[in-house]
Structure 1
């Protein structure tokens, strides 16, 4: 294995033509140059120079190494510049996975802040619901994932992951504007036991069924879809009502539907998850800070 310091010294000896000239150029003593070249020749397994008067002449092996030295040193310099850019947050890449309602709310706010302060940092977005999104981090397919948990249905998080709590998301019920409950400030789930329902993702559906069971009824689920826009359209047409996260209220697209918070309140925990070692990566840590700040501002609204 070559030592990059020895390659740099070798390149200077070739450029300057002697050990003494290379020593002056690099600020070393001549014996130090001699020792480095002997170490390099041991690593190569053959002499690199032969003396021709006061100058050094390259052997065949020396000529071959000299052709590669400039490329090697150029690659090292480029790598150093890139590492400096990454650690200085002038460059970098973060792969983030998010569930749909976070992808439409928390993520754009965080990315906007990041783009202004560190435009060289790029974020690649993926979409997935937990628990699959958590497994993506473990498999190395993304660096950060946003996921949610419900109080009564908290699943085991892979032990490799660190949880960074972001916010509590108040659950709501989406209703057609003409629904009697739409005129109230909050909706009681027990009062909606006779309604037709639209269910969402597997984890949300499980929590919905759990909360209904706690109140002693089994809901009449007529449609199941992960698509939030489809849910809104179905509710707008009076085909059912839906329990949805509060984050959805910020991007309701139908004027004919209304969101009402549940009474008593029901919330889910929204968190970011990363591998512990990724907390030390500057771009990842920066994005986590932006997510925290965005979530804190949203809670305060």
Structure 2
């Protein structure tokens, strides 16, 4: 592979017809031009010029390089301009994979913030629950993943090459039909619902829910299972069961016939953004992480910001 600077000098020698003229044009000494051409000839493995009297003549290899030199330099210049555009955040792409409620509650504000300040950045959104979303990040299928955990080292192992950016603590609430006797209370305890039918969510949420009920001293009667937040609220509103859900869901969707009551003792899930180690320095990824922090700080109701 040859040095692009040497190709630029070669093209100038071809244009001007001599090392001396190219040296004047490029602002170099003639020996410096000569050394660059020798280095280029070593790189390509064959002479590029021969002398005919006091003039330079291109060899066959030199003729080939001369035909391609402008294209090579043009592509390098185009690549340089595109990379500068990305660095200046006038272009680029960010692929974000998030769980459904984060896509609804956090991403819209973050995307709007980036679009307002950096309209050239293209944002692609994907939807996956953890741990599948974290696996997608590890495979390179996305640049940033939003995932949640319920605490405990055994509950979620974070790979060594992933960077975690904590966003917020999302408190859990019990969803009750508006006419439920306990809906009039400001807070509720899980053991107050030992004989209720329950609606469970995704696999990770269901696992935490069952463990929380066991700690409260009972095994829940799970009558329905669905990942659809709207379906959960509709089932609760219809009186078919109750549910333990993250408060984040109520920030963007609240059924008029459903009441959400915080659980005591307080319980929550931790919501974080993840990216591969080192990628947080990529300009577009950095501004997305900043936008997500801002969106998390603005999120209401009841989500507590996590500080490190």
**Residue 60 in structure 1 maps to residue 88 in structure 2:** no
Q: Could you list the runs of 5+ residues in structure 2 that have no partner in the other structure?
A: none
Q: CA RMSD in A?
A: 1.6
Alignment of 1:138-157 (within 5 A): 138-151=138-151, 154-157=155-158
Q: Deviations over 1:195-239 (max 9, x none)?
A: 111100111001100110001101110111111121122112211
Equivalence for 1:186 = 187
Aligned partners of 1:105, 1:286: CA distance in 2, in Å?
18
State which drifts further: 96-105 or 224-233: 224-233
Quick check: 1:199 aligned with 2:194? no
d(CA) in 1 for partners of 2:55 and 2:183?
93
Q: Shift in Å at residue 151 of structure 1?
A: 2.9
Residues in 1 aligned to 2:278 and 2:167: alpha-carbon distance in whole angstroms: 19
TM-score by length of 1: 0.95
TM-score normalised according to structure 2 size: 0.93
1:84 counterpart = 2:80: no
Task: Give the conservation status (yes or no) of the 8 Å contact 1:197–1:241.
Answer: yes
Distance 2:256 2:204 in 1: 28
Deviation at 1:252, TM superposition (A): 2.0
Alignment partner of 1:285 is 2:286: yes
Q: In structure 2, what is the equivalent of residue 137 of structure 1?
A: 137
2:117 paired residue number: 117
Q: Distance in 2 between matches of 1:210 and 1:100?
A: 23
Question: Per-residue displacement from partner, 1:1-25 (whole Å, max 9, x unpaired)?
Answer: 2111111110111112221111111
Correspondence list, 1:190-269, <5 A: 190-269=191-270
- Aligned residue pairs: how many? 301
Other structure's SS at 1:148 match: strand
CA distance in 1, matches of 2:59, 2:85: 39
Relative to 1, partners in 2 of residues 1:146 and 1:139: Cα closer, same or farther, differing over 3 Å? same
Once the two structures are superposed, residues 41-97 of structure 1 have per-residue CA deviations (whole angstroms, 9 ceiling, x without a partner) of: 222222212334554222221111111111111111111111111111111212111
Q: Give the Å deviation of 1:26.
A: 0.9
Contact 1:18 1:54 in 2 (8 A): no
Q: Offset of 1:251 from its aligned partner? A: 2.1
CA distance in 2, matches of 1:24, 1:86: 35
Contact kept? 1:98, 1:128, Cα under 8 Å: yes
For the 8 Å contact 2:197–2:241, the answer to whether it is kept is: yes
Whether the aligned pair in 1 keeps the contact of 2:168 and 2:304 (CA below 8 Å) is: no
CA drift at 1:132 = 1.4
